[in-house]
Structure formats: C-alpha cells, structure tokens
Amino acid sequence: MAPPRPFLWYTSHVIKGKKSVLRLSPAGTPVRLALVVVVVVAVGAAVVSVSGSARTGPIGPTSDLAALRLCGQSRPVQPVARYRYAILQAWEYRQIRGIKRRSPGTKVLVYKDIASTRDDARRAGLLPTGVGYAYANRRHPEWFLRDTQGRRVSWSDWPHAWQMDVGSRSYQQAWERNVAAELRRRGWDGVFLDNVAASMQYPSYLDGRVLARYPGPGDYQRATFRFLRNVGPGLRRQHVLVVGNINDARTRVWSRWVSYLSGAAKEWWTKSAPGFGAGALTGAAWKYQMRLLERAQARNKAFVAIAYGRVDDLAAMEYARASFLLFARGSRSALTFSTGCGAEPSAPDWRQDLGVPTGGASRVGVVWRRTFADGMAVVNPTAGQSVTLPLGGTYLDPSGAPVTSVVLPPHSGLVLRRA
C-alpha cells in the first residue's frame, strides 16, 4: 500500500458571551491537534508499535490510542508508559528487553505474513514469513500456488513475495512449527498475522491472474479459514497472543475467523482513502466498522483500528478517534492514525485521557455520543447533514475554549474535555 498523503483542515469559532459554540467547517477541526502517528503498511514492513491507555472503572477498563509503525527501515521503539503492544519484524528481537524495561506491561509481537514467502529475505531464521523461500523451493515446491497458466504467482506490487498455499495442511504445520519455535527462542509475547484474506484477487496482488487451486468465489476464503482454525489455536495453547490483520471478510466470516485468534486489526478505519477530503466512511459503511469493534470485544478479543491520513488531517483524526471511543471497552483494543513513516504520537490533545465511560454510546437523532468521567465523544456519521448538538453542560473543545454545544458537519467527530 502506498504511504498516505497529508492535507490541511481549518476551523472557526463563534463566540457567545463567555462561552462559545464550536463550529467545524466541512473540512475542519482545530489545527492545534498536530502530529499523531506514522504508518506505511506494506509487505516487508519493519516495525509496528501499538499503544493505548486504560483505566478501570464501573463497567471495566477503557481503551484509547495506539501508535503504530510499519516502516521499510526500522527504528528503536521508545514506548511510553501504558503502551499495549509493540509489533516488530523478527530481526528486531533485540529491542524486546529495552521495551519491557521502559514499559513492563507492553506485549511485544513479531510480524509474520501468512500468505507468502520472500525470495529477498536474507536473514536466515529471522524472516517476515513463517516459511523460508529456499526451504520451500527445495523441499516443498507444491506449496507455491500457480495460476491457471501453470506459472508460480508473485504479487504484482511486491514481486519478491510468492503466493503460498495457506490451505495446505503441511504448509500450516511447518508455518506453525517455525513460528512457535521462534516465539519461544526470542521471547516474543505473540505474533501479528498479516494478509489474513478472503480473496487475493486484487490488482496489487494478482492483477487479473487466477489461482488454479482456488479459482472460484469463496475458495481462497475457505483455505484461509482452514489456516486460522488449525494454526491459531495451536499457537494460543502456548500462551501467546495471535492477532490477525483481517480486512476483506464479511461480518459473519470475520466473526468466525476472530474466534480462532486473540484479536484482529482492521485497516482503513472510518476512512477509505488517504487523499484530502476523500474517503470518509458514513452510513452503513461506518456502522459496519463499529459492528466489527463491538463483535470483537463481545468475544473478549483485541481490536486494533488503523486509520490513514496526513499529519495535518485533523478532522479525520477526530472522526476516527471519536468513533472508536463510542464503542471501545475493555483493556485490549486500541486505535492508531497513520500518517506515514518517521514519528510517534505526540500531540497532547490527541492523547487526552477521558477517563472511564459513564455508560454506553447513545444516539441523538443522527448523532452518536458517549460520556466519560472526564469528557465526551460525539460523532456525526452522515454523508451530508450538519447537526447542532447541545452538550448538556460545559466542555472544552480541542483548543481549550469552553463550549455548551457543537456544530458537527457531515462525517465528523469531536473529543471534548469536561470544563
């Protein structure tokens, strides 16, 4: 996937006496929010770090932010207190001790792609996959899937990645055996599974080619199901975390797959494109993502929401975070806003802790809201309707100004602090 591109958002305030109504332009939230997080999701990514804050309250701990990085060149992870996860490439195992020293509660996971092997992976025993290319080529050529022309299949955008047969029982056994041994040997807390997919029929992967072994609708989906059913529980029995990056499965299939894992990641959270003013998810698409979050948590699973945008895409940041806070519960889930590669979350407003929720999310007309001990999250997930929402009290907007109501343009959200 290509790195997201940045863009700028603006806002205006309408002052009324000593308090104000916060008015967001259709393209805006306060520009004070600044830098949040960095991510480039790509085959062969080097490092991811995921963080979140959690406090225990009347209905359990709440989840907040994540910092997530997948970069071509790794940098040492510097987690602050309460980091929840750090996900690294296999060759970054030496960072585990330092991460644990600075943040003892952090769970450190190793990145592994389930669907490919890489012919450019040079570190023997330290691979971004579960099976090495040379070993598979020499001992198990049948694991390489072929297209309907009889040719081995490398991925269009990542030609060094070769499509493996995730449905093969012998491949699954070798993958699990190799990864389990690495987890024990290096002291990892778990594994992050990439390319947990219902289909590989996308231009960036097959570009029109058809897998001879899985030519029909649902064939590859069933192969992925067999992989998760056989490999997930086996790894979890070793008391490690198994988090799958699932993006294209329908709700019923997604729920079934998550049952074999410790949790799931979902990319393109509340935003389907990184461009300026583009891709905000509304209506049924927004509800679908909220439903995935709720279903994962109802099963006591982790949920990592990953949104993409520019460092100055402040409206998208607020929409993503407020949407997440509406339904997040428990101490396992986290949110990240990816802006590219090179920085960790740092803006104080973005990290603002709202405390424990005082109840669940509720709907007021088309707007959703949820109150917390120290603030409120509000979201307007409609495609074209602006809404004025009375807050029922005085809150502080992201700039620190007191407000008693807010004007929410379409597909926007706000995280407000109690005055």
345-364 pLDDT tens trace: 445 566 678 888 999 999 99
**In-domain check, residue 148:** yes
**In-domain check, residue 113:** yes
**In-domain check, residue 304:** yes
Indicate whether 234 pLDDT > 80. yes
d(CA 122, CA 397): 50
Residue 102: pLDDT band (50, 70, 90) is confident
d(CA 174, CA 194): 17
Report the pLDDT value the prediction gives residue 54, as an integer from 0 to 100: 38
What percent of the chain has a predicted confidence (pLDDT) above 70?
77
The arithmetic mean of pLDDT across residues 14-34, rounded, is 30
- Residue 217 belongs to a domain with what CATH number? 3.20.20.70
Indicate whether 57 pLDDT > 50. no
Residue 145: pLDDT band (50, 70, 90) is very high
Q: Which residue has the tokens 């490092």?
A: 47
Indicate whether 15 pLDDT > 50. no
Q: Most confidently modeled of 96-100, 122-126, 281-285? A: 281-285
Task: Give 225 or 315, the one with higher predicted confidence.
Answer: 225
Query: Biggest alpha carbon distance in the chain?
Result: 77
Report the pLDDT value the prediction gives residue 120, as an integer from 0 to 100: 93
Indicate whether 22 pLDDT > 80. no
Task: Name the amino acid, one letter, at 370.
Answer: R
The arithmetic mean of pLDDT across residues 85-104, rounded, is 85
**In-domain check, residue 9:** no
Task: Give 102 or 118, the one with higher predicted confidence.
Answer: 118
Residue 228: pLDDT band (50, 70, 90) is very high
CB 47 within 8 A of CB 78: no
**In-domain check, residue 313:** yes
Prediction pTM value: 0.81
d(CA 364, CA 361): 10
The structural domain count of the chain equals 1
- Nearest Cα to Cα of residue 136 among 178, 164, 176: 164
The arithmetic mean of pLDDT across residues 354-383, rounded, is 95
Report the pLDDT value the prediction gives residue 341, as an integer from 0 to 100: 62
25 CB neighbour count, 10 Å cutoff: 14
How far are the Cα atoms of 143, 176, 209 from residue 149, in angstroms, in the given order?
Answer: 17, 30, 9
Indicate whether 40 pLDDT > 80. no
**In-domain check, residue 389:** no
Sort strands 107-113 and 190-196 into parallel, antiparallel or unpaired.
Answer: parallel
Residue 127: pLDDT band (50, 70, 90) is very high
Report the pLDDT value the prediction gives residue 99, as an integer from 0 to 100: 83
d(CA 3, CA 310): 9
**In-domain check, residue 307:** yes
Domain that holds residue 287: 35-352
The arithmetic mean of pLDDT across residues 211-216, rounded, is 97
Indicate whether 395 pLDDT > 70. yes
Report the pLDDT value the prediction gives residue 53, as an integer from 0 to 100: 40
Task: Name the amino acid, one letter, at 214.
Answer: Y
**In-domain check, residue 360:** no
Indicate whether 5 pLDDT > 70. no
Report the pLDDT value the prediction gives residue 151, as an integer from 0 to 100: 98
- Nearest Cα to Cα of residue 63 among 368, 414, 412, 336: 336
The arithmetic mean of pLDDT across residues 99-128, rounded, is 89
